[in-house]
Amino acid sequence: MEKWNLIIYTPAYNVEKTIGELLDRTAKAAKGLEEASVSLAALVIVNDGSTDNTKTLAVKASRRKKTSFARIVDKPKNEGPTKALFDGMEESLAIAQERGYAPERTIMVRMDSDLEHQPEDLPRLVEPITAGKASAVVGYIPYDERSGKEAMEFNLRAGLEESRRFLGADIPQFCPGFNAIRLDLFSKIHTKLVAAARKYEREMKEDMLAMDFVELIIAKNMGAQPEIVKLLPIEDKTIKKPTPEKLKYYQSCHEKTMRFLEKEYPIREQSLP
């Protein structure tokens, strides 16, 4: 059976407490992926101007045999997650091109570096693509009250409002960011996503925080309905309880994203079967 190539990219800002474990657990997950004929080609870590030991630990890991798949993009100054994600995308595209990977046999995965996205979910995330059922997949975290009742309710409400309106599907998470996209589709999406992010920044005077969700909308508008996968619950040790201020910021981002999408991708209301 012909193998698939997997390239993961992740923004990393002051994650010294999780970066080592992320790499070790990804190395273990890679063994399971190999059984499904998926080869982990690279995990691109975009060090977004971290002020702790994130860079040092990532570089050390990249020199170890079992985690030599780590590839570091070092940014001297923090520019925020949106720009870090684009840097990760561009490095991932460069790796695929350098190595001559076949676009229809290569999967690009975006994940977080704080272990809210767990490497053990990788086989589940890419399976719809390797099985030929989809060219784009989104994984959502099943939030519960451990993250705070307000955070749980916000993710449910905002996530469903966005996904039902623009995807005709149920995703109970605001801006889910554990996505897998086949490279041939990813390359086409990337150009459109860059243009959308620039337009959003001009109009809203801030970075497009929900770019991962916008990426899914672009995929659908190109004829690829994303497959939805339920992820593992967040581990207790990595649970975060956003402050009221942070939730207020997320609500603002949600409202701006909805306005932007209504303007850029107007569609009729969709009802679920």
Does 226 reside within a domain? yes
pLDDT reported for residue 272:
39
pLDDT greater than 90 at residue 268: no
pLDDT greater than 50 at residue 135: yes
Cα dihedral across residues 25, 247, 151, 212: positive or negative: negative
Q: Which amino acid is at 71?
A: R
Q: What are the structure tokens assigned to 245, written together?
A: 């201020």
Query: What's the rounded mean pLDDT across residues 15-20?
Result: 96
Does 177 reside within a domain? yes
pLDDT reported for residue 2:
86
Does 249 reside within a domain? no
CA-based max dimension of the chain: 52
* Percentage above 90 pLDDT, the chain: 95
Residues 208-261 have pLDDT tens digits of: 999 999 999 999 999 999 999 999 999 999 999 999 999 999 999 999 999 999
Specify burial of residue 268 (Cβ count, 10 A radius: 0-12, 13-18, 19+). exposed
CB distance 193 to 218 below 8 Å: yes
Q: Which DSSP string do the residues of the chain spell out, in sequence order?
A: -PPEEEEEEEEESS-TTTHHHHHHHHHHHHHHHHHTTEEEEEEEEEEES-SSSHHHHHHHHHTSSTTTTEEEEEESS---HHHHHHHHHHHHHHHHHHTT--GGGEEEEE--SSSSS-GGGHHHHHHHHHTTS-SEEEEE----GGG-HHHHHHHHHHHHHHHHHHTSS---SSS--EEEEEHHHHHHHHHHHHHHHHHHHHHHSS--TTHHHHHHHHHHHTT---EEEEPPPPPGGG-----HHHHHHHHHHHHHHHHHHHHHS--------
Query: What's the rounded mean pLDDT across residues 67-87?
Result: 96
Q: Which residue in this structure is represented by tokens 């339920």?
A: 230
> Residues of 43-75 as b/e, b for ≥16 C-beta within 10 angstroms?
bbbbbbbbeeebbebbeebbeeeebebbbbbeb
* Percentage above 70 pLDDT, the chain: 97
Beta bridge partners of 136: 181
Residue 59: band (very low, low, confident or very high) from pLDDT cuts 50, 70, 90: very high
Does 163 reside within a domain? no
Number of domains in the chain: 1
When mean pLDDT is compared across 19-33, 204-218, 238-252, 258-272, the lowest value belongs to 258-272
Does 95 reside within a domain? yes
CB distance 10 to 43 below 8 Å: yes
Does 17 reside within a domain? yes
Beta bridge partners of 39: 5
Q: Which residues contact 144 (CB under 8 A, 6 or more apart)?
A: 152, 233
pLDDT greater than 70 at residue 271: no
Residue 1: band (very low, low, confident or very high) from pLDDT cuts 50, 70, 90: low
- We report the CATH number of the domain holding residue 74 as 3.90.550.10
Q: Which domain holds residue 38?
A: 4-145+172-238
Nearest C-alpha neighbor of 214 from the set 257, 159, 158, 184: 257
Does 255 reside within a domain? no
Does 154 reside within a domain? no
Average pLDDT, the chain: 95
Residues 142-185 have pLDDT tens digits of: 999 999 999 999 999 999 999 999 999 999 999 999 999 999 99
pLDDT greater than 80 at residue 273: no
